[in-house]
């Protein structure tokens, strides 16, 4: 015979069991088209390896494109929800009338370093630790590979070298192609982020001439960001919960890097197996702070617009309202 108390316990037990088997919150798949596989996106890879996306109900599919423009084209063509490239590519899209917005920052500062061929270093006749003005003057008339004409890596080296009277001959190619081009003697130098800048040094074809992550270039020419997360204003407006989740992933990443650096380094090492233990540790030490600054402000965008105006590469960019580039 079931007593009243026993019946109540049975009912409560059933409620508890139902709570235990309640379906998990739905996971939203998102495709991210990123401009390269460099360490500019090392933080993104750490977030992926640490499970921070599913923690925030997101299922990411990360696709590496040939350039920032190609990544943005994927979003504009609706084959990806998000793209990741430098602010210069976003401003170029805005000039063309595309309603692209920046959701958050991915890499603060400049990850791109300049590596010179050993022949160019010998011709320069100065050491790689000479004063920065001397190293910049040595770039006069050299052919230096850059990712694109709107790359966040381009203007800092162009402006800094021209300020000391040097004129670089820039050529454009993907960062993976740069390593082979330098080794073959097709260019005098490359501007690339790790692991490609490191590969050009470790294979013996080049010498690290100017470090981007170490802030060796003069402060006025350094960008506020070299990689940011973008989407269309239409998508952001229609999917506020996804935007909030992406921003929470970035906040969780900053916490992980600050509170558990050894765990973050281990994940980075797995994501970039071409780096040996020493190189991975050095890369983490140089870049960790740059991956931990997700906020982008109108002042940051104003600075990026000023950079593009001074470069002359984007006619009409001065008319862009900095606040219009950022999603609230």
Domain 28-109+224-325 CATH (choose: 3.10.105.10, 3.90.1150.10, 3.40.640.10, 3.40.190.10):
3.40.190.10
Homologous superfamily (CATH) for 113-221: Periplasmic binding protein-like II (3.40.190.10)
Residue 212 pLDDT greater than 60, yes or no: yes
**113-221 and 28-109+224-325 share a CATH fold:** yes
Residue 152 pLDDT greater than 60, yes or no: yes
Residue 4 pLDDT greater than 90, yes or no: no
- So what's the pLDDT on residue 2? 43
Short-list 299, 272, 297, CA closest to 284: 272
Is the bond into 195 cis (omega within 30 degrees of 0)? yes
What is the tens place of the pLDDT at every residue in 168-180? 999 999 999 999 9
Confidence of residue 321 (pLDDT cuts 50, 70, 90): very high
Tell me the H-state helices in the chain: 4-20, 42-49, 52-55, 68-76, 87-95, 118-124, 132-137, 154-163, 175-184, 196-202, 233-238, 240-259, 261-271, 277-287, 298-311
Average pLDDT over residues 31-51: 96
Would the pTM count as exceeding 0.85?
A: no
Structure tokens at 317: 């960019």
| Residues contacting residue 139 through CB under 8 Å, at least 6 positions apart | 114, 157, 161, 166, 168, 189
The domain spans of the chain are 28-109+224-325, 113-221
The kind and range of the H/E element at 190 are strand 189-192
């Amino acid at each position: 015979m079931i007593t009243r108390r026993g019946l109540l316990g049975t009912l409560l037990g059933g409620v508890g069991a139902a709570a235990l088997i309640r379906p998990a919150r739905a996971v939203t798949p998102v495709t991210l088209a990123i401009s390269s596989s460099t360490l500019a996106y090392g933080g993104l890879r750490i977030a992926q390896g640490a499970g921070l996306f599913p923690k925030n109900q997101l299922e990411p599919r990360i696709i590496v494109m040939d350039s920032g423009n190609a990544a943005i084209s994927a979003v504009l063509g609706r084959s990806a929800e998000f793209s990741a490239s430098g602010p210069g590519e976003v401003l170029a899209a805005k000039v063309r009338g595309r309603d692209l917005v920046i959701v958050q920052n991915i890499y603060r500062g400049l990850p791109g370093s300049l590596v010179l061929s050993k022949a160019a270093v010998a011709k320069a006749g100065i050491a790689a630790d000479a004063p920065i003005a001397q190293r910049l003057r040595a770039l006069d008339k050299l052919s230096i590979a850059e990712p694109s004409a709107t790359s966040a890596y381009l203007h800092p080296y162009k402006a800094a070298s021209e300020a000391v009277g040097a004129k670089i001959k820039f050529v454009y190619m993907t960062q993976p192609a740069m390593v082979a081009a330098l080794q073959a003697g097709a260019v005098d130098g490359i501007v690339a982020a790790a692991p490609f800048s490191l590969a050009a040094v470790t294979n013996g074809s080049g010498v690290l001439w100017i470090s981007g992550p170490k802030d060796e270039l003069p402060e006025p020419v350094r960008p506020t960001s070299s990689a940011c997360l973008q989407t269309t204003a239409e998508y952001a407006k229609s999917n506020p919960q996804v935007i909030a989740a992406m921003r929470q992933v970035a906040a969780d990443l900053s916490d992980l890097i600050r509170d558990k650096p050894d765990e973050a380094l281990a994940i980075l090492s797995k994501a970039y197996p071409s780096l040996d233990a020493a190189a991975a540790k050095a890369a983490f030490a140089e870049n960790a702070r740059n991956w931990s600054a997700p906020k982008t402000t109108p002042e940051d965008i104003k600075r990026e617009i000023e950079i593009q105006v001074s470069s002359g590469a984007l006619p009409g960019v001065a008319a862009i309202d900095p606040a219009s580039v950022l999603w609230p």
